[in-house]
Structure 1
Amino acid sequence: MTLLSSTARRSRGSDKPRRGHLVPVLASALIAAIAVTLVAWLLWPTWASKAFDNDERLPVSIGETLFNVPPHAFRMRVQRHSGPQERIDLNFVYPSLAAPEAPKRVSAETIEVTPQPIERIFLSIAAHHDSVAPNSLVHTIYPRYLDESRTQPQDGLLMRAFRDRTPYAGEDLFVAEAPALVARCTREAMTPGMCLSERRIGGADLTFRFPRQWLAEWRDVAGAMERLVLQLHGPQN
């Protein structure tokens, strides 16, 4: 009997150190769980749940040049934040220049068989890092590759073709003075022709892209690009 009593006392006594070690282990686990939850909350992307107002603008710095961008104009979610960035890719509904609505889900039942016309004007803004300026391309680079033949301006818009076996083969250069427009466009083939028009603002280069067919109303296109610059950056000096 005495032996059993002493054994029981030792057993109860040995439980106390084990319970004493268990308390700090549980406390450490609880602290770690709280820390992980806090870090996950801080790093969780807020754009996924935030509803942006139609008039809201995100201040974005490209090449140390400030642009105020509508959140819904971003083509890639990873770029949809304020602060310095190397490049952003945007799109706007033409001719209203409104930021597009969120794309709808497409299914086999809702997809259209016939191709839909492009109703967006695309804009990429990137830091130029002292690369060749768009004006230098027009006045010193492009003329080296243009065909010598000249065409008469159509409705104030002059077109000149690039020669074959040059870096711009298969493209044409369109130039107008009032309003100012310079666009390099691919020719219509298996796919619709597309144009790009570039300009430099501070430390950033802006590259507009739009369908070549829009050049039938080229003054409207030139005005749209100018309005976008005013909306994103303000008047130019």
Structure 2
Amino acid sequence: MRRFLLVLGLSPLLLALVGVALWRLWPSPPPPGTVEATIGAKRLHFASAYLRQGPQEPNRADLVVLAPDFAPAAGDPRRLPGAGEAETAGAAQVFITLTPDVGDPGRLAPADRYAAYLEPDVQVSEGGLLRRRFEDKSPFADEDFYLSAPDGQEFSARCQRPKIPDDGLPQVCLAHLATDGVDIALRFDPRWLPQWAMLRDHALKLTRGALRPQATE
């Protein structure tokens, strides 16, 4: 009888402990005004104003922010004109695509990845990035490669060369970062290259801030 009473006395405590454990494991809904994106094994929460218009693909998130502070682009008029664009259009827009990072342990440094396609000459560009020209017969003809010294591990980007004569289309740079199992692809106007550290830091901060803690943490 004493054992039975003891079990009855402990039952509310056991139920409470089980309830706390289930509450920690049960996925909570996104906070108001935010959307959830699943990237591989990660769940991320973003303010809905960050998302690009149109349907979002599975295992991927497409965002638009405004440089230099990476504010959400939706409904924000602070945009700079780009090459060949009307004054109301904006080169301040930075397009971000998040996908799972494959995490290949044998991944080459950017300088080594493109070594076979680069001309030998190296120049130092505004902002301290090294600039190398892709060979005309390479898959990246008409692009230049920018990288942080010595091998681009900190930052690298491929950028379209200005057309002569100007074709009126905006030039674009592409850069890739990775953090916490998420690949971050950036597409931006070359005018932001001198502020590459700002681009990198804000992109990493935005992604890391959106990552939800895992249930095991």
User: Structure 1 length normalisation: TM-score?
Assistant: 0.59
User: Structure 2 length normalisation: TM-score?
Assistant: 0.64
Match of 2:60, as an amino acid?
Answer: R
**Larger RCO (CA within 8 A; separation ≥ 6):** 2
**72 and 184 in structure 1: CA distance in 2 versus 1, 3 angstrom threshold:** same
> Superposition pairs for residues 1-237 of structure 1, below 5 Å?
56-79=33-56, 85-102=58-75, 116-128=89-101, 130=102, 136=108, 138-152=110-124, 154-177=126-149, 180-189=154-163, 190=167, 191-233=169-211
- SS of 2:71's partner is coil
Name the residue aligned to 1:42. none
- Deviation, 1:63, is 1.3
Identity of counterpart residues, as a percentage?
A: 23
Off by >4 Å, runs of 4+ in structure 1: 112-115, 131-135
- SS of 2:108's partner is helix
Asked if the contact 2:103/2:181 (under 8 Å) is kept, the reply is no
- Deviation, 1:199, is 1.9
- Deviation, 1:90, is 0.7
Name the residue aligned to 1:22. none
- Deviation, 1:113, is 5.3
**219 and 113 in structure 1: CA distance in 2 versus 1, 3 angstrom threshold:** closer
- Deviation, 1:223, is 3.1
Asked if the contact 2:126/2:194 (under 8 Å) is kept, the reply is no
Structure 1 unaligned segments of length 5 or more: list them: 1-51, 105-111
Superposed CA offset, 1:12-40 (max 9, x none): xxxxxxxxxxxxxxxxxxxxxxxxxxxxx
Match of 1:187, as an amino acid?
Answer: R
Asked if the contact 2:127/2:196 (under 8 Å) is kept, the reply is no
CA distance in 1, matches of 2:61, 2:180: 16
Which of the pair has more CA radius of gyration? 1
Superposed CA offset, 1:72-98 (max 9, x none): 211134329xxxx32221101222322
Which sits farther off after the overlay, 150-159 or 95-104?
A: 95-104
Structure 2 unaligned segments of length 5 or more: list them: 1-30, 78-84, 213-217
**64 and 179 in structure 1: CA distance in 2 versus 1, 3 angstrom threshold:** closer
Aligned residues: 170
Which sits farther off after the overlay, 159-168 or 93-102?
A: 93-102
CA distance in 1, matches of 2:133, 2:106: 18
Which sits farther off after the overlay, 148-157 or 66-75?
A: 148-157
Match of 1:158, as an amino acid?
Answer: L
**204 and 70 in structure 1: CA distance in 2 versus 1, 3 angstrom threshold:** same
